[in-house]
Structure formats: C-alpha cells, structure tokens
C-alpha cells in the first residue's frame, strides 16, 4: 500500500495505476499528501494524452500547482474537443495574476457557452474589481443562458470584491429578468449586500416573475427591519402634528417593526422606544435643513440613546438625494407659468445651512425666500404674479399657518401633506434596514 | 496518576505532519471573530491550512468540487431539531438557489450545501440565536453524538438518551473538552433494544448490573479505507450520570496518546491495539480518576460487556404509537437523505401544525415527526409533501443509505445518491420483497456510507466494460446490525453501474427471498 512516506517524491505519471485498478485510489491519496509535487511531467502527460484527465487525478494534482501551471492547464482545457471535459474546479492557487490574465484572454476568444461559463466562474474567483464590468455585462445582456449563469456565479463567488454601486444596479435589473433562476439568484445576492432592504423593498413594487416575487417576500420577511425613531421638530410643548403621527403609523405597518416619533421640543427619551435585542435602533432625522438641531441636538440625542444599545444614525432627510429629487419634481409642477416657484423657509444662519440651501436651490431651480412667520405677508408682496410657492416645512408649523391666508390653498400645504412627496418618503423609510 | 505517553502519540515538533502543524499553530475556534473579514478578503486569500483544516472547527467545510460554495455541518445531539430551527436552516439553503441543499447524515445530523463564505458570519450568529451550533463538527473533533432517534417516545426504550447525549456534548464542547484530537472521534449512546452502535469509537450500550441499569462501554469501532472494525467491550460499566465524565476521560487520553504521526493509523482502535485492552482499560480508569477523583472512579464497575441491544434497527418509517397514549410518531422517508429548501420548510410546517414542533433525524437518513395526536393523523397523511417524503416507502427505499457522492466530494468515484435512487426505484419496480433490505451506498473506500453495515453494501469503483473504463460499484454482502453485528464481505469487485440493477436483482432473488413481478404488474400505472 503506498503512503506519502513511501511514494517517490517525484513519481512518474506512467506508474499511476489505471482507473479500475484497486491500487489507484490509495496511490492517488498518497500523491495528494505529498508535501510537494513537480507538476511538469504530469502536465506533459496530460497534454500528450499519455494519461487521461480523470477528475480523481486532477483533484490530487491541482493543489500542487502554481499560477503559471494552472494557466497552462486552462490552455489545455480550452483546446480539448467536445464533449467538454470537466474543468477542474478544484483547490489550488487559482487566484493568481497569471491565471487571471489568461482567463481574460481566453474569454476574448469564441468559446462554447458551457466553457465560457466555467471560465467566468473562475474569473469571479479572482476577485479583481476590474472584472466586475465584464461579469455584469455578460449577466445582463441577452445571450446564451449558460453564459449568463456563469457570470452570475462569478459575481457570487467574488461578491465582496465588486464595486457596490455597479453590482447593486446590475442585480436590481436582473431581478426583473424573465429567466426566473437568474432573477432569483440576483435577489439572493442583493439580500447579501449591506443595507439590503434599500434594494429589496423597491423591487417588491416592480413586476417580477411569481416565484421570484415569492422568494423576495421570503428574503424581506427573514431580514426583518430595525425599530425606527423618527426625529421631528415638533411644536411647542412637544406636540407632534397629526400628519407625522399618521406617517409613523403607516410606516410601522409597512415595515413590520416598531416606529416611534421624537419631537425635539419634547423631553428626550430615556432608553429609546422598542429596543430590540438583536437590532440597532434606526435614528432618522426628518429634518430638512442642517441647522442647530441637526448639528447639536441630534448628536446629543444619539449619544443618549447609545447608552442603552446600538444606534444606526441616518443623515438628515434634506440630505437624501432621493428626497431632493422628489422635491425638485414637486416644485417643477408649480412652475407651470414659467415663473420659478418660491421655496419659503425659516431665516437661516450663515455657514452650513446657507450653503445647503444654495445646493438645494441648484437641485430644484426654486427661488429660496427666507421669511419668519410674522413677516410672511410682507415678503409675499414681492412674489411675481403666477409664481407657485411651497413651504420648506415637512409638517404644519407657524410658517404654514402664516401662509394659510393665501389664495393658492396649496401654498400653505406642508410637504408631507402633498401626496407625491408623502409616497416617496414612505417608500424611502420603508426601505431602510 | 497519569498514563505513560504511548510511542505513537509522542510526535515532536520536528516530525509534525501538515495537519498536526496546522492544529498546533492555531485552533480553528479562534477564527470565529474573524469570519466577516475572511469573507471580505475571499477564500482564495486564505492559507491552505485555514481553508481546508481550521475552518472545520467552526463546522465550515471548503468543498473542492464546488470551490467558493461551502458546506456547514451542524451538531444535532440525538438528531433532535425543532421546527423553528429547521425553518431557519431552510432559509439559509433557500437563498443559495440552485446551489442549496441539505443532507441528513448517518450521524443523525444535517449538513447544508451551497453557502458562500459571506454567509458564514451571519449564519453562525443566527444558529446561536435559535439554539444550534456547528462547532467542532468536522475534522479531528468529536463528531455529532448519536442516540436513540425515538428517545423519550419509544415504547421499547430502556432509557431516554436525549439528556445523556446533551450532557456529553456539553462536557465535550465546554472548557475541559478536547480541541486537538489526533483524528475524528464518534460517540453514541444506545437506549433501545435496536440501538446498534458498534461502528462508533465509543459506544455506551444499555446494560444491567444487578438491579441497576447503566451502560457498558464499547470501544474502537470505525470504518476507513485501511481497516474496518466493530467496537469491542472495554470491560467497564458506568451509571448514566457518569457518561459525560467518562467520555471526557476517554477523549482526554486519546488526545494525549493517540497516534499523531500516521493519520491512517490513528483511530482509537489502534491505540487500544497498542496498549492492549487491559492496558487501555487501566489508562482510561487512571484518566477518570485524574478528572473526577476517587468518587468518579468508584462509580465504574467491571463488566462482561453483555448488553440489552439485540436487534437490528427498526424501520422507522410509517405511523407508530408513542409510549405516550394517544400520540404517534410519523416516520417519513427522505430519498437518500437529501432535502431542498422547500422540503425543509414544509417539514417544519408539518411539525408545527400536526405535532409538537419537534423532528428527529435517523441514522438511516430519514425524518420523524413526533407527538402527533391520533386525531391529526389523517390530515397529516394527506399533506402533499408526503408524496415526496413518503410514510410507506418500498422495502429497499426505506433504509437505503448513501454518502454524498461525487457531486460534492472529490474522493467519490460515482454519483452515489442519484445512482442509488435510480437503482432502488428500478429494483422495486421489478421485484416483490417479503421484508426490507438495507442497502448502504458509498462512493469511495473511506466508507462514509457505511457499506460494511449494509445487508448489501455498494462502493464506488471503476471497471472495464466493452474495452472502456466505466463507473462501477463493488458489492459487499452479509452485513448485519443484529446483536454483536457483522461486517459485510466483498462479493464482487466491480460491477458497471449499467449492469447493477440486473446483478442486484439476481442477488435479491437468491439471498433475500425477492420474487420477480409479472410483466403486467410491472407495467401497472401505480407502480
């Protein structure tokens, strides 16, 4: 019986017992256990057909190879006539610059789909960000099913290495593919990405194959959601306008997790509401401007809450790109007369708040107008005739009340009471982890 | 008093094998906090020892045939699992899509396939949250501890093995348990007249001593490519409460003195051979005294090795009354032990809806739903899932056991599970059998499918057919799991898989009383 202790350190391939020989299995195991095995004679034997490329043999040889030897093996494999011999997807130094380069070269050649698919999986193993574009393209573009599946497997095997935005966009598109297996695979990969709900929840609103939709529901249900604390400005005495209370209630139902409100005008909470043992508390500032509440009160609140458990603090709402886009669309609807709409806001400090407002103005093409509640009527005298107007206020406040006497009833409507903006905000909040 | 180190166990640093060096350098358990970082870097960035050896201390297996798609082997003491635990595992398998599956193993355990390395850190956290672990389930560790799959519900049981198995596992995974054995180690506890366990390194079989029911210790059973042995009586009897400490003592001694220079000669039986049975018994007693003092030593008694296990394991499929009046266990056949996510979710739902939410896994790779009230039986038996997992499988299907095969294992020479299933189905179409026949299928000489215990054992091989080498199976006959047991002997050294149904048909007719069906019966639509 051969053992690694008794096997020649450089055994001759011609001595390998043929398949079916009772000694072959023991011989191969001894080969596998050798501390080092020069592969050159074995590669030559394979290339010349002196020995057959049986999978049991390859399983023992490959761990001994280096990148150049494996690249050579790939060349040999690609040249083999049909039927395609099994590509040795076996341990060895597959992640290697030489192998990666050879894989890219081979993938430029016209290859049968099955072979291309096998190479794409190996390319994924390389985990080189530069290959993400190729893998995403082959996954998305119409083509042989095997190739697309190979690209998906390549993306799966190198998941952590790909540029996140590119990968997320690609997978979100493939999740709606008509091939349910590909779509399901895309959903499962999205589920493995950080903050997966940001992708999964919006997917649920799109037309998916029934089995993919069912899979998506399972993923979302399993993932669950953080309890949220929505931080709002509030009114004097800690009162919270009813539209915010309704928003929180609807959001809680849609997320299937606790949602509470915290007015900055109220006493700060103790440990925070509905703390979960296994999940952080999501702290969501529904604040539209980076004023002192955002810069001072919010960090204090977060520090207070962190004493009783982990907190995941989100940027203030005004900074969310999706919110800015939605606001721009809402205001664009007010510019029907050709006059840019006015965006009324509380007077701001210089510095960050002013810079933010400049950015918002750039995004929305609205005219920012600072007005304290008591000055509203005076400021409105300068408003061009026909120009639309909206308050930069999420919920009812002194500013919206001061505007309530306007002919245009919508002029005083807080942003949260505008259906399109409310829907966007609910969707965004629902998607949070 | 401590034992003298044995010759084989005394490996010096200079002579350590690759495996021993890897274990000595770092215990795989230390990798747990680093799993997330390891996943981010990718498995190819790991050194070979971490990838192929150390991760197994966390129950994570790199699979050479599916690189990048990992396996996780759990620990399910006594094969007991709750519906919510199974549902959680089903979810993990489900998100692996076409790559995901789970196998019931011959150690009443589950192993999940198709997982990415990124899945490991969250999975291990989730396992802990639902009271499961995969710790030390592979490589040189004490493997899942088996017990009577009917423990606590068995009208025939001598003793409920569940608390004993739990206590042994707690002792082994606790601070005093082994972390660096020379090889794997199988422990089992018998509780019923059909608890055949002599293929384990350490088996506790129920045995009377005077008026007291305890356990006689059997040691040294194992299968391998080099040698197969059934456990032999150690000549000691232990009360139930002593089992955890005795197990720790046996393993501590093995950890110190097992052969670390030749892995092919390092299972416990080789140590027993080296020390002699009497010498080994003394060494075990010394280690018991070291761990538990004179009081622990006094609990052990000399024993002649006789025990209360006399029958081969029952076929557990079907509806059977429990010892609790009005309750039943329903045994379902899982073809070759392989489950997909939908079946796992379905089983969890059935256990919740019709039983107490508990399931049991058997060594014959089947599953039981326990605590089903009689009034629920009809509805349970009408469930669609039972079309896939039948309660009344054919006489070959019921106890056909199979290893993983070459779909996932690079050692296997044939696709064991699919071959076994196809052949069994063909044979059941062709033959009427007066009783069940246990077939054990394994893909290579490592014998994970326990071919030597089968009434018919089959082992993957290659054979020449029409001038070409083709996939084939060696056939073993005569394995018995009754009383002292008997290992099957080689009957045919290589039958091409295409000839296997014909050859097995003839064997079943000749040796097992099978009768060929008439042509009309074979063609009947319900066959």
pLDDT in tens, A60-85: 888 788 889 888 988 888 888 776 66
- How does DSSP assign A3-68, residue by residue? -TTTS-SS--GGGSPPTT-HHHHHHHHHHHH-S----HHHHHHHHTTSS---HHHHHHHGGG--HH
Q: How far apart are CA B245 and CA B208, in angstroms?
A: 20
Residues 6+ apart with CB under 8 A from B457: B439, B440, B441, B442, B450, B451, B475, B476, B477, B479, B488
Q: Residue window 15-34, chain B: list those with CB within 8 Å of chain A.
A: 18
pLDDT at position A272, please? 58
* Interface contact B65-A89, CB threshold 8 A: yes
> In chain A, what percentage of residues exceed pLDDT 90?
51
Q: Residue window 110-139, chain A: list those with CB within 8 Å of chain B.
A: 121, 124-127
Q: How far apart are CA A390 and CA B36, in angstroms?
A: 48
Show residues of chain B in contact with A159, CB under 8 Å. 116, 118
Q: Residue window 56-115, chain B: list those with CB within 8 Å of chain A.
A: 62, 64-69, 91, 94-98
Q: How far apart are CA B410 and CA B460, in angstroms?
A: 12
Find the CB nearest B40 among A24, A94, A160.
A160
pTM score above 0.90: no
**Would the pLDDT of A360 be above 50?**
yes
Establish whether this prediction's ipTM goes over 0.85: no
* pLDDT 10s digits, A91-147: 455 678 899 999 999 999 999 998 999 899 989 988 999 999 999 999 999 999 999
Q: What is the mean pLDDT of chain B?
A: 94
* Interface contact B42-A18, CB threshold 8 A: no
Show residues of chain A in contact with B116, CB under 8 Å. 156-157, 159, 192
Q: Give me the catalytic one of B147, B449, B460, B485.
A: B449
Give the closest-approach CA distance of B322 to chain A in angstroms.
Answer: 35
Task: Give the Cβ contact number of residue A98 at 10 Å.
Answer: 16
* pLDDT 10s digits, A236-295: 888 899 999 999 999 999 998 899 999 988 877 655 556 777 789 999 999 999 988 999
Q: Is A89 on the interface with B (CB under 8 A)?
A: yes
* Interface contact A25-B42, CB threshold 8 A: no
Show residues of chain A in contact with B18, CB under 8 Å. 33, 35
Kindly give the parts of chain B with pLDDT less than 70.
1-14, 519-527
pLDDT at position A84, please? 61
Find the CB nearest A127 among B42, B445, B493.
B42
* Interface contact A156-B116, CB threshold 8 A: yes
pLDDT at position A403, please? 83
Paired sense of beta strands B358-361 and B367-373, if any: antiparallel
B276 in catalytic set? no
Residue labelled with tokens 């993306």: A155
Residue of B nearest to A127 (CA): B42
Residue of B nearest to A90 (CA): B64
Q: How far apart are CA B102 and CA B339, in angstroms?
A: 5
* pLDDT 10s digits, A378-400: 887 777 777 888 999 999 998 88
Contacts 24+ apart (CB under 8 A), B12-18: B15/B261, B16/B260, B17/B260, B17/B261, B17/B263, B18/A33, B18/A35, B18/B49
Residue of A nearest to B495 (CA): A20
């Amino acid at each position: 019986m051969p053992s690694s202790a008794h096997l020649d350190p450089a055994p001759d391939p011609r001595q390998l017992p043929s398949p079916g020989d009772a000694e072959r299995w023991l011989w191969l195991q001894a080969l596998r256990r050798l501390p080092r095995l020069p592969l050159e004679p074995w590669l030559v034997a394979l290339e010349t057909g002196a020995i057959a490329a049986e999978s049991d043999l390859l399983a023992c040889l490959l761990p001994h190879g280096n990148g150049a030897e494996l690249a050579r093996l790939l060349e040999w494999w690609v040249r083999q006539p049909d039927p395609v011999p099994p590509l040795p997807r076996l341990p060895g130094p597959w992640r290697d610059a030489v192998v990666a380069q050879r894989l890219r070269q081979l993938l430029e050649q016209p290859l049968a789909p099955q072979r291309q698919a096998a190479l794409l999986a190996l390319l994924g193993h390389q985990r080189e960000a530069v290959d993400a574009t190729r893998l995403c393209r082959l996954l998305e573009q119409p083509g042989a099913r095997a190739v697309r599946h190979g690209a998906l497997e390549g993306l799966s095997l190198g998941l952590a290495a790909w540029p996140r935005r590119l990968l997320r966009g690609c997978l979100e598109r493939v999740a709606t593919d008509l091939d349910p297996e590909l779509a399901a695979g895309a959903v499962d990969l999205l589920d493995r990405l950080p903050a997966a709900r940001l992708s999964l929840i919006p997917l649920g609103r799109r037309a998916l194959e029934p089995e993919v939709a069912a899979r998506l529901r399972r993923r979302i249900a399993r993932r669950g959601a953080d309890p949220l604390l929505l931080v709002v400005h509030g009114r004097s005495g800690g009162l919270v306008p009813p539209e915010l209370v309704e928003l929180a209630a609807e959001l809680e139902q849609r997320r299937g997790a606790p949602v509470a409100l915290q007015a900055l005008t109220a006493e700060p909470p103790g440990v925070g509401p509905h703390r979960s043992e296994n999940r952080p508390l999501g702290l969501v500032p529904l604040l539209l401007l980076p004023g002192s509440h955002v810069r001072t009160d919010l960090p204090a609140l977060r520090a207070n809450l962190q004493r009783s458990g982990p907190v995941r603090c989100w940027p203030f709402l005004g900074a969310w790109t999706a919110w800015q886009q939605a606001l721009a669309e809402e205001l664009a609807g007010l510019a029907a007369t050709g006059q840019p709409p006015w965006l009324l806001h509380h007077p701001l400090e210089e510095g960050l708040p002013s810079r933010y407002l400049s950015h918002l103005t750039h995004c929305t093409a609205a005219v920012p107008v600072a007005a304290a509640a008591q000055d509203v009527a005076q400021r409105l005298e300068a408003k061009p005739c026909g120009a639309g107007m909206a308050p930069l206020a999420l919920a009812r406040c002194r500013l919206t009340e001061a505007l309530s006497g306007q002919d245009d009833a919508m002029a005083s409507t807080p942003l949260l009471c505008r259906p399109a903006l409310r829907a966007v905000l609910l969707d965004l909040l629902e998607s949070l982890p | 008093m401590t034992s003298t180190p044995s010759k084989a166990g005394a490996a010096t640093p200079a002579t350590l094998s690759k495996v021993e060096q890897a274990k000595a350098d770092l215990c795989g358990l230390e990798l747990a906090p680093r799993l997330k970082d390891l996943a981010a870097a990718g498995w190819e960035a790991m050194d070979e020892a971490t990838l192929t050896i150390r991760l197994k201390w966390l129950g994570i297996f790199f699979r050479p045939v599916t690189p990048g798609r990992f396996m996780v082997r759990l620990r399910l003491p006594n094969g007991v699992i709750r519906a919510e635990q199974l549902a959680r595992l089903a979810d993990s398998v489900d998100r692996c899509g076409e790559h995901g599956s789970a196998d019931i193993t011959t150690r009443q355990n589950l192993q999940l396939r198709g997982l990415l390395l990124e899945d490991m850190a969250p999975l291990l956290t989730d396992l802990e949250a639902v009271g499961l672990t995969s710790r030390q389930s592979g490589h040189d560790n004490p493997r899942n501890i088996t017990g009577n799959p009917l423990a606590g519900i068995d009208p025939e049981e001598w003793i409920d093995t569940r608390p004993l198995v739990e206590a042994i596992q707690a002792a082994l995974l606790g601070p005093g348990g082994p972390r660096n054995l020379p090889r794997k180690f199988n422990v089992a506890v018998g509780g019923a007249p059909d608890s055949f366990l002599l293929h384990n390194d350490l088996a506790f079989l129920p045995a009377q001593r005077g008026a007291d029911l305890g356990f006689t210790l059997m040691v040294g059973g194992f299968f391998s490519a080099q040698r197969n042995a059934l456990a032999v009586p150690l000549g000691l009897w232990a009360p139930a409460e002593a089992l955890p400490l005795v197990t720790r003592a046996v393993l501590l001694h093995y950890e110190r003195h097992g052969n670390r220079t030749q892995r092919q000669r390092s299972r416990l039986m080789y140590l027993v051979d080296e020390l002699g049975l009497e010498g080994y018994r003394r060494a075990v007693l010394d280690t018991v005294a070291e761990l538990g003092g004179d009081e622990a030593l006094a609990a052990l008694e000399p024993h002649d090795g006789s025990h209360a296990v006399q029958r081969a394991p029952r076929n557990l499929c079907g509806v059977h009354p429990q010892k609790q009046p009005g309750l039943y266990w329903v045994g379902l056949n899982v073809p070759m032990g392989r489950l997909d996510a939908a079946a796992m979710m379905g089983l969890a739902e059935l256990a919740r809806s019709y039983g107490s939410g508990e399931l049991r896994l058997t060594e014959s790779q089947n599953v039981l739903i326990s605590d089903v009230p009689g009034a629920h039986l009809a509805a349970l038996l009408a469930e669609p899932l039972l079309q896939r997992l039948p309660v009344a499988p054919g006489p070959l299907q019921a106890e056909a056991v199979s290893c993983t095969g070459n779909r996932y294992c690079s050692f296997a020479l044939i696709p064991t599970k699919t071959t076994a299933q196809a052949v069994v189905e063909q044979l059941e179409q062709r033959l009427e059998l007066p009783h069940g026949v246990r077939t054990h299928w394994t893909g290579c000489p490592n014998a994970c499918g326990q071919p030597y215990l089968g009434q018919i054992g089959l082992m993957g091989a290659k054979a020449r057919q029409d001038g070409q080498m083709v996939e084939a199976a060696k056939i073993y006959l005569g394995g018995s799991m009754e009383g002292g047991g008997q290992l099957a002997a080689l009957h045919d050294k290589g039958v091409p898989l295409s000839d296997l149904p014909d050859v097995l048909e003839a064997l079943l007719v000749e040796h097992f009383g099978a009768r060929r069906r008439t042509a009309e019966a074979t063609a009947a639509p319900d066959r």
